[in-house]
Amino acid sequence: MAYGKTHRFLLRSIASRGVMSIIEVENAVKAFTDEELPLPEMIRAINEEIRPFQQNIKYVKDELSNDELLVFLSLGYDDATKAQNIFSPNELELFRLLLEEIMSTETRQVTGINAINLVGKMKGSFSKTDAQKLLTRWCRMHYLDKDENNYALGVRAIHEFESYFRQNMPDTIEECFLCKQIVFRGYNCPACGLAVHTRCLNSYLEKVQKWPCCKADYSASQIERLHGSSRHSVTQQQENLEQSEQYNTIAEPLTEETLNETEDIEQTQSTQMGISQCVTRKRKRQRE
Question: Residue 179 falls within a domain, yes or no?
Answer: no
- Give the per-residue pLDDT at 229: 55
Q: Residue 99 is part of which domain span?
A: 76-173+219-288
Give the phi and the psi of residue 72 in degrees, each rounded to 5.
-85, 125
Kindly give, in sequence order, each residue whose CB lies less than 8 Å from that of residue 44, ignoring residues fewer than 6 positions away.
Answer: none
Question: Residue 228 falls within a domain, yes or no?
Answer: yes
Sign of the CA dihedral running 15, 168, 104, 184? positive
Q: What distance, in Å, lies between the first and last C-alpha atoms of the chain?
A: 87
- Give the per-residue pLDDT at 168: 81
Q: Are residues 128 and 29 in the same domain?
A: no
- Give the per-residue pLDDT at 198: 82
Written as tens digits, the pLDDT of the chain (288 aa) is 688 999 999 999 999 999 999 999 999 999 999 888 899 999 999 999 999 988 999 999 887 777 899 999 987 654 433 444 567 888 888 988 998 888 877 778 899 999 999 999 998 888 999 999 999 999 998 999 998 889 999 988 888 888 878 888 888 788 899 998 888 877 888 889 898 888 888 889 999 999 999 999 988 887 776 655 554 444 454 445 444 444 443 334 444 444 444 333 333 333 222 222 233 333 333 334
Q: Are residues 99 and 66 in the same domain?
A: no
Q: Are residues 123 and 65 in the same domain?
A: no
Q: Are residues 55 and 99 in the same domain?
A: no
- Give the per-residue pLDDT at 27: 94
- Give the per-residue pLDDT at 215: 93
Rg (CA), the chain: 23
Range list of H helices, the chain:
5-17, 22-32, 39-50, 89-103, 112-116, 128-140, 155-160, 162-168, 198-205, 220-246, 272-287
Give the end of a domain, one of 74, 95, 127.
74
Q: Are residues 132 and 232 in the same domain?
A: yes
Burial class (CB in 10 A: 0-12, 13-18, 19+), 53: exposed
State the CATH number of the domain containing residue 56: 3.90.1150.220
Burial pattern 161-184, b for ≥16 Cβ within 10 A else e, equals: beebbeebeeeebbebbbeeebbb
Q: Are residues 57 and 145 in the same domain?
A: no
Burial class (CB in 10 A: 0-12, 13-18, 19+), 139: middle
Q: Are residues 28 and 104 in the same domain?
A: no
Q: For the full predicted model, state whether its pTM sits above 0.85.
A: no
Question: Residue 186 falls within a domain, yes or no?
Answer: no
- Give the per-residue pLDDT at 13: 95
Q: Are residues 141 and 263 in the same domain?
A: yes
State the CATH number of the domain containing residue 261: 1.10.10.10
